[in-house]
Amino acid sequence: MIDTAPLLEMRGIVKSFPGVQALRGVNLTLHAGEVLALLGENGAGKSTLMKVLGGADHADQGGILIDGREIPFHSLKDSRSAGVAVIYQEFNLVPSLTASENLFLGHEITRGGFVARNQERRSATELFKRLGVEIEIDTPCRRLSTAQQQLVEIAKALAFDARIIVMDEPSATLTSYEVGRLFEIIRDLKRQGIGIIYISHRLDEIAAIADRVTVLRDGKNVGDRPIKQITRNEMIELMVGRDLKDEFPKRNSMIGATRLEATGLRRGRTVQNVSLTVRRGEILALTGLVGAGRTETVRLIFGADARDAGTIRLDGKELTIRSPKEAISLGIGLLTEDRKLQGLILKHSVRENFGLPNLTWLSHRGFVRQSRERRELDHYIGLLKIKVSNQEQISNHLSGGNQQKVVLSKWLARNCEVLIFDEPTRGIDVGAKYEIYLLMNELAAAGKAIIMISSEFPEVLGMADRILVMHEGRVTGEINDVRQATQEQIMQLAMS
């Protein structure tokens, strides 16, 4: 039962950065025992609003009220004291410390000036018991699975009596079973009177877990409705400001001859005798559950990892690929699964990131021709509708969707003949997804061969010409008639 008095009110929040008006008088209300879904395209202001609530950013104007009382939020300490915990996509854990040590880091339990480790361990056990889960509390967090690390983050919030928990894309790297378990924990937290702000681009999840939806667009409120009074299409229209009749753009496939062929790829236990082909003008989907070996397979093709066995052919010619540099020179490009760690150098500018894989043709006598580099980048900023204040903007300051587009621009400029998209729309809003889908279709229509790795079965069914399903390092099935395929069929193959 939701209380009538709001647990949290954010009133008229305004926040600007150099050249960017991030928030334009945003209001947000959260009740105790409620799950509020916060929706919006990348760059709509969701992250900035949550950074203000978490004390990482200070609002230029506006106020924050807890239980009707206005409280200053100038620092992380202010936010924590008010009972707010923000769980970001990139977990804030120290990998070398144990689960128990991470729970109390910064607010250790002490006795006589010394950390009371045994008491912390007992408290940690009780916290995980409260969540209904079992975690090895003495295990370093680097050895825990992603789902277990997320549970440590939730337990951290409970350790300092958080009454408001923000979850930013909490299901992005979880299996369907782990998502179901997460939802059980969220429902239990609701029963304890905790208010939860849930940020996700997966609209099916929103319908399953949220009580109410608040939508931001261009730093402003554009909608606030109970979940029972809003449809999926209405959520999309509010987010993007236009009618998206189809989530997946239609395409007439003109599939030609085989471009890339991999046979008998092996690497330890992660990739076991995998063979695949992808043809000119084709989008081949490689799918399965997390840990199936999909990313490991394409890393062998790209030369990022050494293969124990197997052959790779491009247009019938056998290749010896020992490094990504060799793969790139042969016209193979990989958009990595983790754009922050592997796709971009976040502290460098958009221009510098764009130029890195293209230095050979952007340079003359050892010097980068910056005028040409800027001209080329301008072309792709326009083509991909990348939202940047200027080319020198630091990549870490871009939204997730725009970061993904910068990574994509690098490979388009290389004019790669084979493009591997590893989770191309993870953490990206529906509007940006649609633009990337359109671009993938255009690339396929131009004769490019595309391998798309995706954990989202609707995306696989909506975009692929052919589907390969993997489980524990092996291909367990191939689906040629995608139009007649179902998510249940994919799941059966993914678990077999």
Predicted pLDDT at 243: 66
- Name every residue whose Cβ is closer than 8 Å to that of residue 163 and which is 6 or more positions away in sequence: 7, 32, 83, 84, 193, 194, 195
| CATH class for the region spanning 8-240 | alpha beta
Average pLDDT rounded to a whole number, residues 165-175: 82
Predicted pLDDT at 245: 64
pLDDT at 276 over 90: yes
State the DSSP code for 286.
E
Check: CB of residue 334 under 8 Å from CB of residue 304. Answer: yes
Host H or E run for residue 197: strand 195-199
Average pLDDT rounded to a whole number, residues 311-333: 92
Host H or E run for residue 102: helix 99-103
- Name every residue whose Cβ is closer than 8 Å to that of residue 367 and which is 6 or more positions away in sequence: none
Domain ranges of the chain: 8-240, 258-494
Check: CB of residue 32 under 8 Å from CB of residue 195. Answer: yes
| CA 50/CA 38 separation, integer angstroms | 10
Residue keyed to tokens 């290749």? 319
CATH number of 258-494: 3.40.50.300
- Say how many C-beta atoms besides its own lie within 10 A of residue 56's C-beta: 16
Burial 259-273 (b: 16+ CB within 10 A, else e): bbbbeebbbeebbbe
Per-residue pLDDT of 191-236, as tens digits, reads 999 999 999 888 888 999 999 999 999 899 999 999 999 998 888 8
Residue 25 or 370, more confident = 25
| CA 273/CA 296 separation, integer angstroms | 12
Per-residue pLDDT of 224-244, as tens digits, reads 999 999 998 888 888 877 666
| CA 285/CA 467 separation, integer angstroms | 5
**Taking the complete model, does pTM exceed 0.85, yes or no?**
no
Q: Which amino acid is at 373?
A: E
Check: CB of residue 9 under 8 Å from CB of residue 65. Answer: yes
| CA 353/CA 376 separation, integer angstroms | 13
pLDDT at 177 over 90: no
Q: Which of 294-298, 335-339, 469-473, 479-483 has the lowest mean pLDDT?
A: 335-339
Domains 8-240 and 258-494 share a fold: yes
The most confident of the ranges 220-234, 348-362, 372-386 is 220-234
Check: CB of residue 467 under 8 Å from CB of residue 285. Answer: yes
Predicted pLDDT at 252: 81
Average pLDDT rounded to a whole number, residues 178-185: 87
Diameter over CA atoms, the chain: 75
